[in-house]
Structure 1
Amino acid sequence: MKFPDDADGDVLRRLEESGFDFSTAWEIDFMVDFDSWPPSQDALDILEKEYGPIEVYAPDDDGDGYILFNINSPVSYDLIMDTQKKASALVVSFGGVCESWGVLQ
């Protein structure tokens, strides 16, 4: 497979090199960061309405807080980019951005 030369493409290349099965549906975690904590309830409601149950991880000694949501789907570059773009657009007015994701093999 060919992936773009960016951070998300790098992750996908590493997954491919490890034998990741791109044809199988996986639970993909997406993290939404906010400029200030806690995020507004309106932002949380918007994310939950769009993506279903969310998890709130408050800031602690290990890092800043974030909101987590999951999508169950085969992993693809387009899905990753489209989801991050859409989630970011939904919460940008609340100081939110979705720029990270992960999947456990």
Structure 2
Amino acid sequence: MAEFTDDWPDDADGSVFRNLAANAFDFSKQYSVDYNVDFDSCPPQAAALDLLRAMYGELGLYPPDEHGDGYVQFQVLGKVSYEGVTSVQRQASAAMGQFGGVCESWGVLH
């Protein structure tokens, strides 16, 4: 088992990891992590959705409503680590930048 570290950076993602640890999250298990991609305008271009599907598989499309501007969601199964989560966010944001998209939020049910 990889050595556990809890010295996460002082940023939004690090804060989520500290909250998970404080709530006895089991970092040794695999989980389905939800990632949200926000776009400048909804619905996103078909090419953006095609690229996200090619990268991550099935997508959830959430149109704008009274609670927000809408987003696209995908899941990645695996162990939850700071580097893993932020790497997926960077990759998705880099791919979606040309379409006005960014991946800055994620969540995991436990």
Q: What TM bracket, shorter-length normalisation?
A: over 0.9
What is the deviation of 1:94? Answer: 0.4
Give the alignment of 1:67-82 within 5 angstroms: 67-82=72-87
Q: 1:103 aligns with which of 96, 102, 108?
A: 108
For 2:59 and 2:53, the matched residues in 1 are separated by: 6
Query: Unmatched 5+ residue regions in structure 1?
Result: none
Partner of 1:59: 64
Query: Unmatched 5+ residue regions in structure 2?
Result: 1-5
Q: 1:35 aligns with which of 34, 40, 49?
A: 40
Q: 2:91 aligns with which of 66, 86, 98?
A: 86
Give, as a single letter, the amino acid of the residue that structure 1 aligns with 2:23. S
Partner of 1:26: 31
Partner of 2:3: none
Partner of 2:21: 16
For 1:10 and 1:62, the matched residues in 2 are separated by: 24
For 2:38 and 2:73, the matched residues in 1 are separated by: 9
For 2:72 and 2:48, the matched residues in 1 are separated by: 10
What is the deviation of 1:37? Answer: 1.2
TM-score (norm 2): 0.94
Alignment length (residue pairs) = 105
